[in-house]
Amino acid sequence: QLQLVESGGGLVQPGGSLRLSCIGSGFTFDTYAIAWLRQAPGKEHEEVSCISRRDDGATYYVEAVKGRFTISRDNAKNTVYLQMNNLEPEDTAVYYCAAPPYPTSFACQDNEYVIRGQGTQVTVSS
């Protein structure tokens, strides 16, 4: 059964940094694109970033985080990371990692994603 476990959230001041981790199990990790989604209080889920499967390195970022967030993956460790720099109060949300229902060859931002983990809370506040 495909599982993803997020970690690394916390409370940080504006301008600070956090690195989120997402560890996968129960599936062939490097055949799946992985995405980070977030949900702020009272808002819908938003796709923040995604990374294609294997090592071709293709990534996507929502406009609001371009230049501040970096997604990467280490397939040997079944892990995807989200490095978040220069955090803003608007980044406050529960962050989830997600995978499509099955492997695809689509550009990662063209996949439908299913949230598989419990999420990790990121709070940006002074």
pLDDT at position 42 is 94
pLDDT score of 125: 97
Q: Give dist(CA 71, CA 83) in Å, integer.
A: 6
Q: pLDDT averaged over consecutive 10-residue blocks of the chain (126 residues)?
A: 95 98 95 96 96 84 97 95 98 97 90 93 97
**Model pLDDT, residue 55:** 60
- The whole-number pLDDT of residue 29 equals 93
Strands (E), the chain: 3-7, 10-12, 18-25, 34-39, 46-51, 59-61, 69-74, 79-84, 93-99, 114-115, 120-124
Q: Supply the pLDDT for residue 108.
A: 92
